[in-house]
Amino acid sequence: MKIEEEIKQKKFKNEFLKAEINLSFTAAWLEGKRTADLKPFGISIQQFNLLRILKGQFPKPSPLKLITERMIDKMSNTSRLVEKLRQKGLVKREICEDNRRQVDIFITEKGIELIDKASEVVESNIHSQTTLTEKEATTLNKLLDKMRD
Protein backbone atom coordinates (compact mmCIF):
# COMPACT_ATOMS: atom_id res chain seq x y z
CA MET A 1 0.00 0.00 0.00
CA LYS A 2 1.26 3.46 -0.84
CA ILE A 3 2.32 5.81 1.95
CA GLU A 4 -0.40 8.26 0.85
CA GLU A 5 -3.05 5.62 1.58
CA GLU A 6 -1.40 4.42 4.79
CA ILE A 7 -1.36 7.84 6.45
CA LYS A 8 -4.22 9.34 4.44
CA GLN A 9 -2.25 12.25 3.05
CA LYS A 10 -2.70 13.12 -0.61
CA LYS A 11 0.27 15.41 -1.17
CA PHE A 12 3.73 15.93 0.25
CA LYS A 13 5.76 19.11 0.07
CA ASN A 14 8.47 17.26 -1.90
CA GLU A 15 9.80 13.77 -2.61
CA PHE A 16 12.53 14.07 0.06
CA LEU A 17 9.97 14.70 2.80
CA LYS A 18 7.79 11.90 1.43
CA ALA A 19 10.76 9.52 1.46
CA GLU A 20 11.62 10.38 5.06
CA ILE A 21 8.02 9.91 6.21
CA ASN A 22 7.79 6.68 4.24
CA LEU A 23 11.04 5.43 5.79
CA SER A 24 9.88 6.29 9.34
CA PHE A 25 6.49 4.67 8.77
CA THR A 26 8.07 1.54 7.29
CA ALA A 27 10.58 1.27 10.16
CA ALA A 28 7.72 1.38 12.68
CA TRP A 29 5.78 -1.17 10.62
CA LEU A 30 8.76 -3.53 10.57
CA GLU A 31 9.31 -3.04 14.30
CA GLY A 32 5.72 -4.10 14.92
CA LYS A 33 6.24 -7.27 12.91
CA ARG A 34 9.48 -8.15 14.74
CA THR A 35 7.89 -7.39 18.13
CA ALA A 36 5.14 -9.89 17.29
CA ASP A 37 7.75 -12.47 16.18
CA LEU A 38 9.64 -12.13 19.47
CA LYS A 39 6.66 -12.04 21.84
CA PRO A 40 6.53 -15.85 22.28
CA PHE A 41 10.19 -15.76 23.37
CA GLY A 42 9.61 -13.07 26.00
CA ILE A 43 12.23 -10.69 24.65
CA SER A 44 12.17 -7.24 23.09
CA ILE A 45 13.77 -6.20 19.81
CA GLN A 46 16.60 -4.54 21.77
CA GLN A 47 17.17 -7.68 23.86
CA PHE A 48 17.17 -9.74 20.66
CA ASN A 49 19.81 -7.41 19.20
CA LEU A 50 21.94 -7.66 22.35
CA LEU A 51 21.76 -11.46 22.42
CA ARG A 52 22.78 -11.64 18.75
CA ILE A 53 25.78 -9.43 19.48
CA LEU A 54 26.82 -11.69 22.36
CA LYS A 55 26.33 -14.82 20.29
CA GLY A 56 28.52 -13.32 17.57
CA GLN A 57 31.27 -12.74 20.14
CA PHE A 58 30.87 -16.17 21.79
CA PRO A 59 32.91 -17.63 23.46
CA LYS A 60 34.77 -14.34 23.98
CA PRO A 61 33.41 -11.92 26.57
CA SER A 62 31.85 -8.62 25.56
CA PRO A 63 32.41 -5.47 27.57
CA LEU A 64 29.40 -3.17 27.88
CA LYS A 65 31.07 -0.57 25.64
CA LEU A 66 31.37 -3.02 22.73
CA ILE A 67 27.72 -4.02 23.04
CA THR A 68 26.58 -0.38 23.19
CA GLU A 69 28.60 0.49 20.06
CA ARG A 70 27.05 -2.37 18.11
CA MET A 71 23.42 -1.87 19.14
CA ILE A 72 21.08 -0.90 16.31
CA ASP A 73 19.01 1.32 18.62
CA LYS A 74 21.63 3.75 19.90
CA MET A 75 19.16 5.02 22.54
CA SER A 76 19.01 1.62 24.25
CA ASN A 77 19.98 1.48 27.92
CA THR A 78 22.42 -1.39 27.54
CA SER A 79 23.04 -1.83 31.28
CA ARG A 80 19.32 -2.21 31.92
CA LEU A 81 18.93 -4.65 29.02
CA VAL A 82 21.83 -6.77 30.30
CA GLU A 83 20.29 -6.87 33.78
CA LYS A 84 16.90 -7.99 32.45
CA LEU A 85 18.55 -10.73 30.39
CA ARG A 86 20.68 -11.76 33.39
CA GLN A 87 17.53 -12.14 35.50
CA LYS A 88 16.13 -14.45 32.80
CA GLY A 89 19.32 -16.54 32.86
CA LEU A 90 20.20 -15.62 29.27
CA VAL A 91 23.46 -13.76 30.04
CA LYS A 92 25.97 -13.60 32.87
CA ARG A 93 28.29 -10.85 34.05
CA GLU A 94 31.83 -11.27 35.34
CA ILE A 95 34.46 -8.79 36.53
CA CYS A 96 37.30 -8.67 34.00
CA GLU A 97 40.50 -10.16 35.44
CA ASP A 98 42.73 -7.70 33.55
CA ASN A 99 40.70 -4.58 34.37
CA ARG A 100 38.69 -4.75 37.60
CA ARG A 101 36.57 -1.76 36.51
CA GLN A 102 35.35 -3.59 33.42
CA VAL A 103 32.42 -5.99 33.48
CA ASP A 104 32.42 -8.72 30.85
CA ILE A 105 29.12 -10.07 29.59
CA PHE A 106 28.69 -13.60 28.25
CA ILE A 107 25.71 -15.31 26.66
CA THR A 108 24.63 -18.45 28.52
CA GLU A 109 23.70 -21.79 26.97
CA LYS A 110 20.06 -20.92 27.65
CA GLY A 111 20.62 -17.61 25.84
CA ILE A 112 22.16 -19.36 22.83
CA GLU A 113 19.21 -21.75 22.60
CA LEU A 114 16.70 -18.89 22.79
CA ILE A 115 18.48 -16.67 20.26
CA ASP A 116 18.81 -19.57 17.81
CA LYS A 117 15.07 -20.32 17.98
CA ALA A 118 14.06 -16.65 17.86
CA SER A 119 16.43 -15.96 14.95
CA GLU A 120 14.96 -18.87 13.01
CA VAL A 121 11.44 -17.42 13.36
CA VAL A 122 12.52 -13.85 12.55
CA GLU A 123 14.57 -14.86 9.50
CA SER A 124 11.81 -17.16 8.22
CA ASN A 125 9.26 -14.37 8.55
CA ILE A 126 11.55 -11.85 6.84
CA HIS A 127 11.70 -14.14 3.81
CA SER A 128 8.00 -15.03 3.79
CA GLN A 129 6.70 -11.49 4.46
CA THR A 130 8.72 -9.56 1.89
CA THR A 131 7.58 -8.72 -1.59
CA LEU A 132 11.06 -7.56 -2.62
CA THR A 133 13.33 -9.56 -4.87
CA GLU A 134 16.91 -10.08 -3.78
CA LYS A 135 18.03 -7.57 -6.40
CA GLU A 136 15.55 -5.00 -5.04
CA ALA A 137 16.77 -5.66 -1.49
CA THR A 138 20.34 -5.05 -2.68
CA THR A 139 19.29 -1.76 -4.30
CA LEU A 140 17.39 -0.74 -1.16
CA ASN A 141 20.46 -1.49 0.99
CA LYS A 142 22.64 0.65 -1.28
CA LEU A 143 20.15 3.53 -1.16
CA LEU A 144 19.85 3.37 2.64
CA ASP A 145 23.64 3.30 3.01
CA LYS A 146 23.90 6.28 0.63
CA MET A 147 21.30 8.17 2.65
CA ARG A 148 23.49 7.89 5.78
CA ASP A 149 26.66 9.06 3.98
> Cα separation of 62 and 129, whole Å?
33
The ranges assigned to domains in the chain are: 3-135
120: Cβ–Cβ under 8 A, 6 or more apart, which residues? none
- Checking if the pLDDT of 111 tops 90, the result is yes
Task: Report the share of the chain in percent with pLDDT over 70.
Answer: 99
- Checking if the pLDDT of 96 tops 80, the result is no
Phi/psi of residue 62, nearest 5 degrees: -125, 120
C-beta of residue 47 within 8 angstroms of C-beta of residue 84: yes
- Checking if the pLDDT of 130 tops 90, the result is no
Global pTM? 0.86
pLDDT tens per residue, range 6-47: 888 889 999 999 999 999 999 999 999 999 999 999 999 999
Class of the 3-135 domain? mainly alpha
